[in-house]
Chain A
Amino acid sequence: MRLSRRTRLASVALVAAASLTLTACGGDSGDDSSSSDQVITVDGSEPQNPLVPSSTNETGGGNVIDELYAGLVAYKADGSTVNEVADSIESEDNKTWTVKLKDWEFSDGSKVTADSFVKAWSYGAFIDNAQLNAYFYYPIAGTNDEGNSETPELSGLKVVDDKTFTITLKQAEADFPARLGYSAFFPLPDAAFGSDGKVTKEFGENPITNGPYKMDGEGAWEHDTQIRLVPNENYDGERKPENGGLTFKFYTDLDAAYTDVQAGNLDVLKSVPDSALTTFESDENVQAISEPGSVFQSFTIPQSMPGFGSDEEGKLRRQAISLAINREEITDKIFNGTRTPAKDFSSPLMPGFNEKIEGSEILSFDPAKAKQLWAQADEIKKFSGKFQIGYNGDGGHQAWVDAVSNQLKNNLGIQASGKSYPTFDELRKDVTDRTIRIAFRTGWQPDYPSIYNYLAPVYGTGAGSNDGDYSNKQFDDLINQAAGAQDEDERYKLYSDAQAVLMQDLPAIPTWYTNIAAAAAKGVNNVEFNWQNLPEYHKLTK
């Protein structure tokens, strides 16, 4: 098996130390002509919602919002958190947190106060406002499982004084502050709210913000074309812009965006199209960036699927399926090395990542053992039928689903195939209604840099994104212990133990991590990617 540099798993230390790997041909970083007033154009897509943090849950608007606003904490490129607007976030019991704020201003000069946060979050959680990001408030007392509160005031939040407020959680969570850099936890100025208490339409079009950038005046959002951001001179935080502004240019097709990078019309493209995967690293017209990323890919086998229940038979079959997949071969032949075979249920970019979790050899390729386990399961009960993997046809998944199906066919001697759902929402409907009786594609992009975020919401009993209805008391206990553990090493150890349980049960079959495969135009400097698989926008220069 060919193992190129980029397919090798980088260790955590290595990622933390140097997360930028430019290929030889594109590495002319010593360009003296770069200056700090150049506007950088980056790819984006038309935001589907107003530019209000609590109402934006898709990347088109989310990427812009992350540059416009600043939260209590900020994430560094390696996923570690530093206080941003917060001066301190402290708790005695990991349950009630006291937040003290620094002196901070919005771009219009108004003060960022405790109220700016409390009002924004309460607004986001209140059920009548139907905000798409409400889910993120679920740890806070006063919300239900979906993060909604029945009252306009969120009972878990208390303003102490102008620069102090407290957050009460439903249960202790030691790394709760790590959540607070996510966009749902950004503040809103008073100017955002209209007389009816709702965020106004005008604000959503042209918000007043407290982050590294601000909108380039009225009409900076040219719908379906681009959004222009300029540095916010009132910002004095961790992400000080080194360029003269950012323009998010909207593309509906990545191929078109890649073509623009080649032609020098676009400075940075955060993910190259499938069609360029084989060539972008040797493309003389671009700088190529390829390194491990944080998106975890898998397919979930629902517990209700015949033959794949939580009994012995189901466990054997799940293990057989996992062993029958040659992940190296697929990442190499189908993705040209832009995916990295999975070693766990999180991502190598996460603090505490462990590539030698007990039982993780189940993720290696062993067709002989796979066949044997499948035969064992057949002795318990004969398997009749077909193994299908559902995917949304509009997302470019067909190639790998076909490859996995072929391997299952060839290595286990069973019938296997993909099942295409034309659109994402059709797949989601079958999944959320629990009418799906086949395996289906699942992926997880972390909301904040913690292994906990990959595990608890996805595999915890009754958790919000536990689409396969997996339930294991031992796993739940371990993950709860981890949440409350003060000591970092102890917490990481508990994460590994919890994942060891998953390696046994395989509620989902881990496949690979999506690498960062990006391209920058010639002459663009400081192209550095972070744990969110995004460029550190504020550092780009040319």
Chain B
Amino acid sequence: MPEIATRPGQQRFVAPLDETPLQDVDSVDLSAAPESQWKEAWKRMRKSPLFWISGTLLLVVAIVVAFPGLFTNADPSYENLSDSLAPAREGHPLGFTQQGGDVWARTLYGARASVAVGVFATLFVTIVGVITGAMAGFFGGWVDSVISRLSDIFFSIPLLLAAIVVISIINNVWPERQFWGSVFVVVGALALFAWPQITRQMRGAVLTVKNLEFVDAATAIGASRWKNLVRHIVPNAMAPVIVTATITLGVFIVAEATLSFLGLGLPRSSVVSWGNDIAAAQVLVRSGQHLEVMFVPATALAITVLAFILLGDAVREAFDPKARKK
């Protein structure tokens, strides 16, 4: 059993009366099952305007990802040089790329690959990062040492440089890839060297949270170490991770553009993606002409990232009652 003695810096605190109204406590329904944290969070989330705004945006993104053909009749992979940078005309509301592709259609169809790269890479780094970071921070000792050193190793290898080499190697052993194959190669190359960021963040947060009094309280009423970690510490330490993860999502989508710029991203021949189109349009931006060719996929990217960031805020606030506005 860990000691429960008061540590320096910990002050016991009694909430003012108006925050724990007696009448609520007086009418406890003993027969009701205690609500799970998730259920409570969902209840709170439903009341948050943030959640509804981000939810709507994400729904739109999801529909585009699933059914891009609903919004255009143009074929995104058809490119004809004689249409190069041509202005908008009927059926092609936003004009054409330098290669003569339909900007609007390519942006719609590009959502799938880009969102997939962002979401899967973020999921990967978040899951790995939260688990490893929580274990390192909570258990300390040799567990912390091993995880910290491993994350140091992976994080100290420059992401972009490593990704170049990793993709080279995979290209060589697996040259013919279809859509999902290509997506997961990029996801893997980006995520493999990015997870330690979340690990370190989580570790730092857990170090702080595990000394808070409610953990001591939980321990006092007999919660096991595991239960403490999973039920009390991790949820309370998630806030900074969620913030980082939602931004990272956007950063991953853009990183794919940088890889494409170096000829290592998703193959342009078989996959339409925002990153590819942004990379291809950078030459135009540099010369200050036809800015719209980059503007459209970049805006789509910004809106998608916005949706995820807002959702992140909403989720975080729902799980973390402290952050709620009074």
Contacts and interface: CB of A to CB of B under 8 A. Distances in A.
Interface stretch (A304-312, A392-400, A464-472): A392-400
Interface of A: 255, 273-279, 326, 329-330, 333-334, 392-394, 398-399, 402-403, 405-407, 410, 417-423, 426
Interface stretch (B22-30, B133-141, B146-154, B286-294): B286-294
Interface of B: 78-82, 84-85, 98-100, 164, 167-168, 171-172, 262-264, 267-270, 280, 282-283, 285-289
Given A279-B289, A407-B81, 18 more contacts: A275-B285, A276-B287, A278-B287, A330-B81, A334-B98, A394-B262, A398-B263, A399-B98, A399-B283, A406-B99, A406-B100, A410-B78, A410-B80, A420-B264, A420-B267, A421-B171, A423-B168, A426-B168
Contact of B81 (A326, A422, A423): A326
B269 A417 contact: yes
A446 to B, nearest CB: 27
A394 B280 CA distance: 14
B79 A422 contact: no
Contacts of B285: 275
Contacts, number: 78
Given A255-B286, A329-B81, A333-B84, A422 B262 contact: yes
Contact of B286 (A276, A326, A393): A276
A406 B171 contact: no
A257 to B, nearest CB: 13
Contacts of A398: 263, 268, 280
A407 B164 CA distance: 30
B167 A422 contact: yes
29 contacts: A255-B286, A275-B285, A276-B286, A277-B287, A329-B81, A329-B82, A330-B81, A333-B84, A334-B84, A392-B263, A393-B262, A393-B263, A393-B264, A398-B268, A398-B280, A399-B280, A403-B81, A405-B269, A407-B81, A410-B78, A417-B269, A419-B267, A420-B264, A421-B263, A422-B164, A422-B168, A422-B262, A422-B264, A426-B168
A22 to B, nearest CB: 21
Contacts of B263: 392-394, 398, 420-422
A275 B282 contact: yes
B87 to A, nearest CB: 15
Contacts of A334: 81, 84, 98
9 closest pairs, A vs B, by CB? A393-B263, A417-B269, A275-B286, A333-B84, A420-B263, A279-B287, A406-B79, A422-B168, A275-B283
Contacts of A418: 268-269
Interface centre among B80, B85, B285 (most CB of A within 10 A): B80
B289 A422 contact: no
